[in-house]
Amino acid sequence: MLIGIDVGGTFTDAVLIAGGKVAVQVKVPTDGCDLLATVLKALDELLQGVAVSDVERVALSTTLVTNAIVQGQVEPVGLFIMPGPGADWKGRVPGDPLVLSGYVDHRGRVRQKAGLDELAEACRNMPEQKIFAVSGKFSVRNPELENEVAQSLGRQMKPLNITCGASVSGSLNFIRRTNSAYYNAAVWKRFQDFAGDVELALTRRRILAPIYILKADGGTIPLATAKNLPVESIFTGPAASVLGVMALCRPESSAVSLDIGGTTTDIAFWKSGAPLFDAKGASIDGYNTAVRTFRLRSIGLGGDSWVRRDSGALEIGPERKGPAMALGGPVPTVTDALVVAKLCQIGDPAKAEAAISLLSFPGKSIQETAAEIINQSAELIRTAVDKMLAEEAASPVYRVADIVQPDRFEPELLIGVGGGARGLAPVVAQLMNLRWQVPEYAMVANACGAALARPTLDITLRADTAAQEYAVPELGLRRKLTDRRCTLEQVRQLAGEHLQERATIAGIAVPDIETTFEEEFNLIRGYSTVGKIFSVGVQIKPGILVDLSAEDSMRGDLK
Amino acid sequence: MKPTERKPLGLVFFPAFDWALSPTHPEREERLLFTRDQVIEEGLLDLPQIQEYKPRMASLQDLDRVHIGVPDIASLITDAHLVSAGGAITAAEAVFKGETERSFALVRPPGHHAMRVVHGTRGFCAVNIEAVMIEYLRKNYGLRRVAIVDTDVHHGDGTQDIYYHDPDTLFISFHQDGRTLYPGSGFPNEAGSPGAFLSTINIPLPPGTTDQGMHSVLDELVLPMLADFQPEIIINSAGQDNHYSDPLANMAVTAQGYARLAAKLKADIAVLEGGYSIEDALPYVNVGIILAMAGLDYSRVLEPDLERAPVQSAATTATIDKLIKDWRGKWADRDRLRAEALARAGDFWRRERDIFYDDSQILERQQETIHYCKSCKGLLTISTESAGNRSVEKSAFAVVLGQDSCLVCRERGKDALLKAKRNGGHQHYILQDRRDDSVEHC
């Protein structure tokens, strides 16, 4: 049995999956001040009458880190950066970084040594500091300077946590790595406390199954590993729902998925069975980070969106004033329209009709008004999807072949999950002339996603055969490359070995390795080739542990 | 769109990672690899001041508007040329549609050695991407007066050739003296045909010129000339091979020198040209130019080996000062000098040249004649033949009818083409008609 818990902003969903089916599903209100209590309440309700010894895994998607940052409940971080010469970093990184001399160039050569004396001086001025982040330009090409500074901090300060830029991301972008490292350090202590509480509470309930945490990229990692990378668990709500779509539908063709919740609709794109990733990374509190996420667009439209008239014209969302009037809420909502149109069966239909009648004109039936609300809501979603499609088509590519034969994203299928999906997804699909599907358990897709997400990890390997060196930033290592004439295939193999190494440390099995990107370039001096530069990204293939049978999906074909 | 909503800089970054002239040629796949690394590592593409654009492909018609390909342009180019020319157009359109204040087409392959007539590739160029962009703008946005400032170390002989008879295009090129570097041209006496005399300005600089010399030329010549000419837009052919580490040239300019140039020049559109110090110069020069064009602080963009940059010799300074003085005199007297040149020319002006295509190993012999007209800008006829070790002989006779050629000139042009065809002696007879935006093979 697999347990998935998704702590959302308003509600927490939990599912128990057994025999390829959702055996139990529960929904409890989220207590933003006490997430642990929320998790345990959901867990206790879920496990009534269940033998806890049958639980194989508990996976958690939590807003803890997001909330901590939004509410400013973070630790002060001693942030040291080694920007070297280049663009101005001021205003682009949070906190008040201390600049050390020392930098690495784009080939990974140390051009100036780390300013350890400056570090010692700075440390004397912050004797109480226990949490640190260290980030250097091009540290992904050579993590040595970051390592030296971290080691020196370790000797001088008895730190609780030092997060290095290269360890949180193997990708280029000094500013994003710096910010990832900063936030990782800033939420570190809070996450330790939460993780400790969760472990203790589960042990008390005699649940000895391993605990996993969902990451923003839709994979899970064991709680023990997550403790070192808490920033990865930011924004996992949308990731959970995307994973849920994968578990429930396995979209093989190009698809658009909509997670239509209470206040927002999250839009994601799918290509050959996998969701598309954001090319850059998540933004936290206005700062760009290197946290990998799905390419998602969130719009302020959901079942609870407030519907009103402004000089006769319908206005929908993005504000939420409360639940639907059908459920005793204060103002008319999209859900009320869906209830009136018989596209949704919740609450009191009479109250929903009363809600919609508030928005009707004389001579216009409440059914017509409900239809108007539903169409306008669908139109808002369609506009957002179209904008996202246009952005996708306009994303830069760097090869001639990709311009001449563009790999266009043209969705064929629309998948709806979340509370408002049954009502709205078919209408949007009709507007876009797409087939549609709303799978069974669509209401708890997020919790299913958390329950079923596979453990994943990734690493980046860059080999420079002229310099006879290679680096794996996530592991903080730079080593001699013995074979000057090594090939891309060998580099891929080497990357696989290091991924295996990282997975072993993290306690994750490696069933399937997937190459996420690779590059091979010649290095030429004068007119002769002196070496090659290889960059390879590999990951444990993300996905789901078991398919849920979703025979009861609602589907619609093209008219 | 309101001006306040414009982003400061549009960036078309297209490194063409799958295209090379040949595997070890300087114009090869990884030329912009290290630039990409630096640009991304600095986080420039995340800056709210910068909007990245995906290049569109230029059409063959866009190329035919500028070039006369022998036998036709399609057979002389690759898809990469259509993308880099299209990238320049994309950059320019971002400005003309009001989306950005200025744009930088950081694209390859380059184009400033490609002349009007094209038999093959020379100086790594087959399509003049700036000219294709400018003529696209003239066709679609009613643009007329343009200034091009070519800051590549090599003389922009292709761009010069295309605009040699056009008084509406001011072409200024400063470069390493042609006696010491490819393509061996770009002397002050190449100043435009009589009708466009002194709208071509060549400033050959001595080897070893540094930031100091380049900025003297900029401050004392280029910027005042631009102020006098009053172009609607300024284009920068932004070659980066004046850098002290460039392997193909002998100048001593730094990334700071180039960034300050970009800040002062305030080009509406910059287009990458050459620059082959791909590891030691391009990453820093490009970051400097991008920041400067976006109005951001570039003062900390410094090469790691900056101490290598030479100091300018007194002799070099003296040479540059003299050049500036000579040019200032001529420029002040430009109206009289042009009138004199026109009067001397009479009804027509002709030049005969040998043009070498180093990459294609072709030698072209070309005769170009401008036929002057009292009521329009006249008519251009070209006779060209080429031969090379690896290619068959090719010859063509071409007539270029301008946007505003009068009816008499249009008839004269068509007659000239028919007459040439009757006489024989060429393999191809080509009519480029700018008014109808067409190229006809007769």
Report the length, in residues, of chain A.
Answer: 559
Residue B157 and residue B234 in one domain: yes
Structure tokens at B379: 């008519």
Q: What string of DSSP letters covers B417-437?
A: HHHHHHH---SEEEEEETTTT
- B34 to chain A, any CB pair closer than 8 A? The answer is yes
- Residues in chain B closer than 8 A to A93 (CB atoms): none
Asked whether the predicted pLDDT for residue B328 surpasses 70, the reply is yes
**Span B217-227, average pLDDT:** 98
Boundary-marking domain end, from B309, B334, B359:
B334
Residue of A398, A524, A533 with shortest CB distance to B17 = A398
Average pLDDT of the residues in A267-282: 89
Q: What are the pLDDT digits (tens) for B242-275?
A: 999 999 999 999 999 999 999 999 999 999 999 9
Which pLDDT belongs to residue A552?
Answer: 61
Active-site residue flag, B113? yes
Residue A268 has pLDDT above 90, yes or no: yes
Is B54 within 8 Å of A395 when comparing Cβ atoms? Answer: yes
Cβ proximity of A373 and A314 under 8 Å:
yes
How far is B60 from chain A, CA to nearest CA, in Å?
A: 14
Asked which of B294, B312, B334 is the last residue of a domain, the reply is B334
Confidence category of residue B189, pLDDT binned at 50, 70, 90 = very high
Contacts of A88 in chain B (CB under 8 A): 296-297, 300
B52–chain A Cβ distance below 8 A for any pair: yes
Calculate mean pLDDT across residues A421-428. 92
Q: Which range is least confidently modeled, A120-134, A439-453, B363-377?
A: A439-453
Percentage with pLDDT > 70 across chain B: 98
Query: Can you give the pLDDT at residue A30?
Result: 86
3-state SS assignment for residue A136? strand
pLDDT at A492: 96
Q: For residue A552, with 0-12 CB atoms within 10 Å meaning exposed, 13-18 middle and 19 or more buried, which class applies?
A: exposed
Residue B282 inside a domain? The answer is yes
Query: What digits encode the pLDDT tens for the residues B54-94?
Result: 999 999 999 999 999 999 999 999 999 999 999 999 999 99
Q: Are A95 and A79 in contact (CB under 8 A)?
A: yes
Find, among A203, A168, A209, the residue nearest to A187 by Cα.
A168
Are residues B243 and B284 both part of a single domain?
Answer: yes
Kindly state whether residues B329 and B353 are assigned to the same domain.
Answer: no
Of B256, B237, B15, B235, nearest in space to B146 by CA: B235
Considering the domain architecture, whether residues B307 and B181 belong to the same structural domain is answered as yes
A92 vs B: CB within 8 A:
yes
Per-residue confidence band for B121, with pLDDT thresholds at 50, 70 and 90:
very high
Mean pLDDT for the stretch of residues B137-141: 97
For residues A237-247, average pLDDT: 83
Please report residues of B whose CB lies closer than 8 A to that of A529.
23-24
Q: Specify the number of domains making up chain B.
A: 2
Q: Please state the rounded mean pLDDT for residues B184-199.
A: 97
Pick the CATH number of A249-437 from 1.25.40.10, 3.30.930.10, 3.40.30.10, 3.30.420.40: 3.30.420.40
Residue B126 scores a pLDDT above 50: yes
Chain A residue whose CA is closest to B80: A400
Question: With bands split at pLDDT 50, 70 and 90, how would you rate the model's confidence at A559?
Answer: low
Same-domain status, B304 and B396? no
Tell me how far apart the 2 most distant CA atoms of chain A are, in Å.
83
Q: Which of B81, B112, B113, B119 is catalytic?
A: B113
Q: pTM value?
A: 0.95
Q: Per the CB < 8 Å rule, is B17 touching A92?
A: no
pLDDT exceeds cutoff 60 at B2: no
A499, A510 Cβ separation under 8 angstroms: yes
Where are the CATH 3.30.420.40 domain residues in chain A?
A: 249-437
Q: Which residue has the higher pLDDT, A219 or B63?
A: B63
Predicted local distance difference test score (pLDDT) of residue B1: 43
Q: Which domain holds residue B223?
A: 3-334
CA distance B89 to B96: 10
| CB-CB under 8 Å, A92 with B53 | no
Give residue B369's pLDDT band: very low, low, confident or very high (50, 70, 90): very high
pLDDT at A558: 63
Residue B342, in any domain of the structure: no
Which of B307, B334, B361 is at the close of a domain?
B334
Identify whether the C-beta of residue A500 lies closer than 8 Å to the C-beta of residue A486.
Answer: no
- Averaged pLDDT for residues A121-139: 97
pLDDT at position B397 over 90: yes
Residues in chain B: 442
Residue B339 is assigned to a structural domain of this protein: no
ipTM score assigned to the predicted complex: 0.94
Percentage of chain A lying above the pLDDT 70 cut: 99
Mean pLDDT of the A108-118 span: 97
What's the pLDDT score for residue A557?
A: 72
∠ at Cα A301 (A300, A307), nearest 5°?
115
Residues B359 and B414 in one domain: yes
B366: β partners:
B353, B384
pLDDT of A169-180, one tens digit each? 999 999 999 999
For residues B97 and B169, membership in a common domain is answered with yes
**Per-residue pLDDT tens over the stretch A61-94:** 987 888 788 888 899 999 999 999 999 999 999 9
**Chain mean pLDDT for chain B:** 96
pLDDT range class, residue A243, cuts 50, 70, 90: confident
Domain harbouring B261, CATH code: 3.40.800.20
Other CB atoms within 10 Å distance of the CB of residue A57: 19
* Three-state SS at A65: helix
In a domain, B143, yes or no: yes
Distance (Å) from the alpha carbon of A535 to chain B's nearest alpha carbon? 12
Is residue A554's pLDDT more than 80? no
Are B266 and B404 found together in one domain?
no
What pLDDT does A249 receive? 83
Q: Examine the domain organization and report whether B36 and B148 are in the same domain.
A: yes
Any domain includes B314 = yes
Same structural domain, B293 and B389: no
Share the mean pLDDT of chain A. 92
As a whole number of angstroms, the distance between CA A298 and CA B378 comes to: 60
